[in-house]
Amino acid sequence: MTDSSTAYTDMDGQFIAGIWRAGRAGKTAANHNPFDDSILNEISLANEADLDDAYKAAATAQKDWGRTLHSERSALFMRVVSILDARKDEIIGWLVREAGSTLLKATIEWGAVRAGAMEAIALPSRVEGKIMPIDVPGKQSFVYREPIGVIGVISPWNFPMVLSHRSIAPALALGNAVVVKPAEDTPVTGGLLLAKIYEEAGLPAGLLNIVVGAVEDIGDAFTLHPTPKLISFTGSTRVGKRIAELAATGTRLKHVGLELGGNAPFVVLDDADLDLAVRAAAFARFLHNGQICMSSNRIIVDASIHDAFVDRFVAHVRTFKTGDPSDPSTVIGPLINAKQKAAALRNIAAARAAGFTELLAGEADGLLVPPHIYSGVPNDSDFAQAEQFAPIAPIIKAANEDDALRLANATEFGLSSAVFTRDMARGIRFARGIEAGMTHVNDISVQDSPFNMFGGEKNSGIGRFNGDWIIAEMTTDHWITVQDTPRHYPF
């Protein structure tokens, strides 16, 4: 635990080559608390020259870091875990103030960051090469797995700290260097706070660089820069497609890891435990106000239990408190910014105009939007097909199990999903029919584990996070042969 005398300060610019310095864009941005609009700090923004400095520093530092002993890299993350423990309240406080996180969500996020650091302790020793057979006399064949080099990370504002750290930690553990561009709404929790933690842990200068700048100043340049070998992006499908295009058309081709939008189905089959399904659906839909890519965006319920589910679901959600995210009893806190609020209000107006049954509603107050629930929603409506990213719950009636699976798959997205049933074999069979990267039987769609695969299908992205999957993403294979005996060549 830390007090005000030891809390981190001076997170108001850039962290490049191990130095805290002002950005050179010639402008600043106020970092606001979304609940009360107070200014948390002023950030001196970066330009392309700052970005170039960051990538150069990363490339230089990575050469030695990639040859560092595994034990040294593991020891770094042991220190990071200790710092995360000591500064738990400080970190949670920043997540509440800057990201509008409720205390529950902020605590969950801190725990996920810590779990990622714990997993990173083991990653350096899990990198394996291969000795391969080869059909040439007197030849040996080896495949070495090596760091990919410099990785660029672009992170979002909804779970800013963990969605930056889930790329930062494995990248560093595997011998890479990192340049991070956090979201403009969360520059501290998405980047600068992590820089302070790794600086305190003794990470060598240049291996982690945080560049905070406006999209118009450094957005495209971040991906187009020739140094990074991989761009790891978490955010909207629209922006992800743009990054993929830039990665393919710049002066040097790049790998991309894209974790994009979602429209997770939460399916309740006719034999489900109704009370469990109701509570799980409410948690999966309204955690962090629905501002989660894995949030259960469409609640699909078998017709035979639809009305009973709806009655219990509305009654449960009606008890949720909307208000100050620092209040432990608050379930619904503020949306991140005015743009997200405007999008939510447009979706609510569209649902009313379409004649969907409004079961729960309320008036917005500042960036606070209370829970809204709608039934009678067609799965093919724009309302159901949109990623809400707000405390709005569409409920869709399915005729039967086959219809529920058809509805679940009728979306351009395929990130996460959930199905509830008392029959495990039925649940696994249904889960395997869902076109998504992840499906959870009798649990919520919002799931992540640092040692289990994470990733989506269709327009929800390409690439995988966590465990052996992130090792494959953030390292590269190098085939080396040795000819032990002289070989005869035909000319």
DSSP-assigned letters across all residues of 229-268? SEEEEES-HHHHHHHHHHHHHSSS--EEEEE----EEEEE
DSSP run (H or E) holding 152: strand 150-154
Residue 452: how many other CB atoms lie within 10 Å: 13
CA distances 256 to 151, 223, 246, 260, 331, Å, are 10, 10, 10, 12, 35
Sheet (strand 130-132) strand order:
130-132, 139-147, 475-483
Set 119, 293, 401, 473: catalytic member: 293
Q: Which pLDDT value is given to residue 1?
A: 46
**Residue 16 — φ and ψ, nearest 5°?**
-135, 130
DSSP secondary-structure letter at 26?
S
457 is catalytic: no
Q: Is 28 helix (H, G, I), strand (E, B) or coil?
A: strand
Q: Three-state SS for 403?
A: helix
Burial of 183 by CB count in 10 Å (0-12 exposed, 13-18 middle, 19+ buried)? buried
Annotation says 293 is catalytic = yes
Q: How many residues does the chain have?
A: 491
pLDDT for the residue numbered 35 = 98
Cβ-proximal residues to 306 (8 Å cutoff; 6+ apart), any chain: 395, 397
Say how far apart CA 243 and CA 234 lie, in whole Å: 11
Amino acid 474 reads M
Angle at 186 between CA 204 and CA 93, to 5 degrees: 85
In the prediction, which pLDDT does 259 show? 96
**Could you give the angle at which helices 193-201 and 160-173 cross, rounded to 10 degrees?**
30
Query: Looking at residue 2, what is its pLDDT?
Result: 53
Tokens representing 452 are 């289990």
Q: Single out the catalytic residue among 259, 387, 401, 473.
A: 259
Amino acid, res. 395: I
The pLDDT tens digits along the chain (491 residues) read 455 459 999 999 999 999 999 999 999 999 999 999 999 999 999 999 999 999 999 999 999 999 999 999 999 999 999 999 999 999 999 999 999 999 999 999 999 999 999 999 999 999 999 999 999 999 999 999 999 999 999 999 999 999 999 999 999 999 999 999 999 999 999 999 999 999 999 999 999 999 999 999 999 999 999 999 999 999 999 999 999 999 999 899 999 999 999 999 999 999 999 999 999 999 999 999 999 999 999 999 999 999 999 999 999 999 999 999 999 999 999 999 999 999 999 999 999 999 999 999 999 999 999 999 999 999 999 999 999 999 999 999 999 999 999 999 999 999 999 999 999 999 999 999 999 999 999 999 999 999 999 999 999 999 999 999 999 999 999 999 999 999 999 99
49 alpha carbon, distance to own chain's centre: 28
